[in-house]
Amino acid sequence: MASLVYVVDTTALLAKWVLHVPARIYTTPDVVAEARDAESRAATETALELGRLEAITPPEWAVREALEAARRIGLHTSLSETDLSVAALALYFTRQGHRVVIVTDDYALQNLAASLGLSFMPLRTRGIRERRLYIVRCPACGYISNDPGIRTCPVCGTPLRRYRRRRRATK
């Protein structure tokens, strides 16, 4: 039987959730670095010292797979490297045969998790109700971006925008 693993983003650290749940909890070094205020940092360090939380860098193949999935659904400009590392770590554990739940309030990360077939659990929000597909396009010239680092159009210099893709009508 596959064991249950929680992969948490910054939300769980800020809420100190990792100190209250007796489970296998993992995150990435990027997430740990985001716990900056004194109280959250102390709680995170305590969880790490007690072995309640373990920070693992996901393998490159998993990061590439998470980024490619983000591109497919049009969230590559909305997700940070930290978000992608969380999704990648969840993919890694899934491939190891674990049941994985990503703990996050980030809607873009929840959408990515759903598109990858991963479970997620919000802490302070309701969470997404449906998966959505987006396209990142220049509102001025129509350029479509697939590059995660680009925020402005390389053709005309206008800030890129994310648009929800319309579902195609079926005949």
- Give the count of beta carbons closer than 10 Å to the beta carbon of residue 43: 20
- 128 part of a folded domain: no
The model's pTM: 0.78
Specify the DSSP element, H or E, that contains 170.
none
Per-residue pLDDT tens over the stretch 65-105: 999 898 888 887 778 899 999 999 999 999 999 999 999 99
**Domain final residue pick, 121, 142, 163:** 121
Whether 145 and 109 map to the same domain: the answer is: no
Per-residue pLDDT tens over the stretch 112-148: 999 999 999 999 877 777 776 767 788 899 888 877 6
d(CA 134, CA 65): 18
- The alpha carbon of 147 is separated from its chain's Cα centroid by a whole number of angstroms, namely 17
- 85 part of a folded domain: yes
User: Measuring CA to CA, how many Å separate 42 from each of 10, 47, 49, 51, 166?
Assistant: 14, 9, 10, 14, 45
Domain that holds residue 43: 4-121
Beta bridge partners, 38, equal none
Query: In 53-120, where does DSSP find H-type helix?
Result: 60-73, 81-95, 107-115
